[in-house]
Amino acid sequence: MTTVFTTMESPLGRLLLSGTLEPDGSLALQSVTAPGQKGARDEPADGWLHDPEAFAAVVEQLGAYFAGELTAFDLPLAPVGTEFRRRIWAALADIPYGATVTYGELGAMAGQPPTAVRAVGGAVGANPLLVVLPCHRVLGANGAMTGFAAGVDRKRHLLALERGSLF
């Protein structure tokens, strides 16, 4: 499989999008990252091929989301991570648009015991699909606006967008 990438401008800054081209030519999205995001790439890796056309549906859906016109993504996803992280990331996709949950609630959604809350937080922080898998919808146990790999200001922006307070 070939890893491809493109970039797009967004309210969060220039996003780096990467994915793999499947043998049938379809794209499986692996990552969406923002500038300065902890533990994420700002630039493509050596060997990645620039292929904006492959990301047409991704760019269209992200653009509609940022315009307040899309509440759920319909994209083939292929995030790379441990089985535990993939379970947590799958649970992120179940958080409704505009809603929030705590790390403990997210863990329960993924079938994890309350004692796993730190591991759940680590998985959320390692989410490779910013915005698409909505880790910005996860809050601290007391409802606090806790960490977000792309920055708490960006988290506030995304939640305000989803609550309609930007328009």
Question: 104 is written with which tokens?
Answer: 């403990």
> Which residue is catalytic, options 135, 138, 139, 159?
135
What residue type is 125 in one-letter code? G
What residue type is 110 in one-letter code? A
Asked if 135 is an active-site residue, the reply is: yes
User: 3-state SS of the chain: helix, strand, coil percent to 5?
Assistant: 35, 15, 50
Distance CA 94, CA 103 (A): 14
Question: What distances in angstroms separate CA 8 from CA 60, 68, 108, one per listed residue?
Answer: 10, 17, 34
β-strands 49-50, 15-21 pairing: unpaired
Residue 139: how many other CB atoms lie within 10 Å: 18
β-pair partners for 101: 138
Question: What distances in angstroms separate CA 91 from CA 33, 51, 75, one per listed residue?
Answer: 19, 30, 16
Residues taking part in catalysis? 135
